[in-house]
Amino acid sequence: MSTTKVSRVLLVFVAFALIAAACGDSEPVDAEGFKFGMILVGPQNDHGWSQAHYEAGQYVAELTGAEMIVQDKVNPSDLPEKTVDQVAADLIALGAELVFATSDDMKDGILLAAEQNPDVPMIWSSGDSAWEDGKAFAGLDNLGNVMGKMEFGKMIAGCAAGLTTQTGSIGYVGPLTNDETQRLVNSAYLGAKYCWETYREETTPLDFAVTWIGFWFNIPGFTLDPTQVSNEFLDSGADVLISGIDTTEALVEAGKRASEGEAVWSVPYDFEGACAEAPDICLGTPYFNWGPAYLEIVNSVVNGDFKAEWQWNGPDWDNLTDNTKTALGWVSGDGLSADASADLDDFIAGLGSGDINLFTGPLNYQDGSVYLADGEEATDFQIWYTEQLLEGITGESASGG
């Protein structure tokens, strides 16, 4: 990131602090001399998942005076000689008094690190080890979890795709298969289907397919190539690509096709500024905003009242771009038409008010088994632990559906 861009980001962070104070939110602690570690699965400038975490750490450091120590590219390809627990130990040796592990696949390593360092608070972002009613409660007093309710963001992304597609075919470039990724694909599908049928009054079934590349981003020789997957979708008739991976290949490839005259669009993921890769055909970006939760956690550690909690934080429906408050946001892109934008705003208002609840039955899994009975509204448990893709989606479920 250039010096100019860093300066601009810091100015924004200062503005956020002033806004928060004006709104009566708790002020950041003075954490001068405090260090926290940030473990990223990808590069800190990936325009996606890892950059969103990195910039949240910058946000916290600027507001509190704390120092962030970063180790990025912690994955089997870029750092095969280091495990997550070893990286955590390295950060602690450098003075980190709090460690963030920011990927679902870091589970085993951060659990071990927390056990080995019981006096060091840790956060496993996207995990459920601190959820007492969950399936994987670990009972570690120093390990909490934070996740945003991106299900809403993916519903909005799906709606934007459903409002825009001209072929009725949407391709979803997915990472690996697990409960998290399946519930996000299901969310995007439900949003696309609802807006296809409700606002456009289409009766032809929507073609919605997912291809999993095998990891959160491209690892040559280990994953499918997301560039190739994106082009295969476009070659097969999909005219909107939704990304579920950490990086922006789907948007980039759609942008190349659009520059050659094809009518195609895309919805990236994770990072607020992702549309910049191909702004003219970007329908918008659902993004994680980790800053408010991370600030709260740093405050609690500095104040000595940290608790190992499971947080699944929702959006601020009053303003999905208020990064001092919302845990996830949505920024509409230049590729979204005026008519689609109006319908999308209506859809978002319905989600916010609760008038639209897409996780309501009847819904079946791919294998025909009942996910939600007629009229049944899903609990957090049912959404978090999603066993399969839904009926109507083409693509493999983790269970082989």
What is the dihedral sign for C-alpha 194, 199, 201, 206? negative
- What's the mean per-residue pLDDT of the chain? 93
Residue 70: helix, strand or coil by DSSP?
strand
Question: Which pLDDT score is estimated for 26?
Answer: 55
C-alpha to C-alpha distances, 382 to 184, 368, 386, nearest whole angstrom: 13, 17, 6
Residue 248: helix, strand or coil by DSSP?
coil
DSSP single-letter state for residue 18: H
Give this prediction's pTM: 0.91
DSSP states of 108-122 as a string?
HHHHHHHHH-TTS-E
Tens digit of pLDDT for each residue in 291-314? 999 999 999 999 999 999 999 999
Phi and psi at residue 175, in whole multiples of 5°?
-80, -110
Question: Which pLDDT score is estimated for 77?
Answer: 86
Question: Which pLDDT score is estimated for 18?
Answer: 39
Mean pLDDT value across residues 59-76: 96
For the ranges 218-222, 328-332, 395-399, the lowest mean pLDDT is seen at: 395-399
Contacts with 397 (C-beta within 8 Å, 6 or more apart), sequence order? 177, 182, 365, 366, 367, 387, 388, 389
Q: Which of 26 and 299 is assigned the larger pLDDT?
A: 299
Same fold, 3-148+290-313 and 151-287+329-394: yes
Taking the domain 151-287+329-394, which CATH number applies? 3.40.50.2300
Contacts with 278 (C-beta within 8 Å, 6 or more apart), sequence order? 251, 252, 254, 255, 258, 266
Task: Give the percent of the chain with pLDDT over 70.
Answer: 93
Q: How far is CA 346 from the centre of its chain?
A: 23
Phi and psi at residue 93, in whole multiples of 5°?
-65, -25
Contacts with 269 (C-beta within 8 Å, 6 or more apart), sequence order? 48, 49, 157, 242, 243, 244, 245, 246, 285, 286, 287
Domain 3-148+290-313 fold: Rossmann fold (3.40.50)
Give the pLDDT band (50/70/90) at residue 134: very high
Question: Which pLDDT score is estimated for 400?
Answer: 56
Report the alpha-carbon distance of residue 289 to residue 25 in Å, rounded: 17
Question: Which pLDDT score is estimated for 399?
Answer: 64
Domain boundaries, the chain: 3-148+290-313, 151-287+329-394
Judge contact between 374 and 361, C-beta under 8 A: yes
Question: Which pLDDT score is estimated for 27?
Answer: 76
Question: Which pLDDT score is estimated for 398?
Answer: 85
Q: Is the pLDDT assigned to residue 20 strictly greater than 50?
A: no
* Tokens 């089997």, residue located: 76
Report the alpha-carbon distance of residue 367 to residue 359 in Å, rounded: 18
Report the alpha-carbon distance of residue 75 to residue 111 in Å, rounded: 16
Q: Is the pLDDT assigned to residue 356 strictly greater than 90?
A: yes
List, in sequence order, every residue forming a beta bridge with 99; answer none if it has no partner: 37, 122
List, in sequence order, every residue forming a beta bridge with 69; answer none if it has no partner: 37
Tens digit of pLDDT for each residue in 254-287? 999 999 999 999 999 999 999 999 999 999 999 9
Q: Is the pLDDT assigned to residue 5 strictly greater than 60?
A: no
Q: Is the pLDDT assigned to residue 192 strictly greater than 70?
A: yes
Buried b (16+ CB within 10 A) or exposed e, 114-143: beebeebbbbbbbbbbbbeebeeebebebb
Mean pLDDT value across residues 155-166: 98
Phi and psi at residue 246, in whole multiples of 5°?
-75, -15
Report the alpha-carbon distance of residue 98 to residue 201 in Å, rounded: 51
Q: Is the pLDDT assigned to residue 401 strictly greater than 60?
A: no
Judge contact between 65 and 32, C-beta under 8 A: yes
Q: Is the pLDDT assigned to residue 8 strictly greater than 80?
A: no
Q: Is the pLDDT assigned to residue 205 strictly greater than 70?
A: yes
Report the alpha-carbon distance of residue 261 to residue 272 in Å, rounded: 27
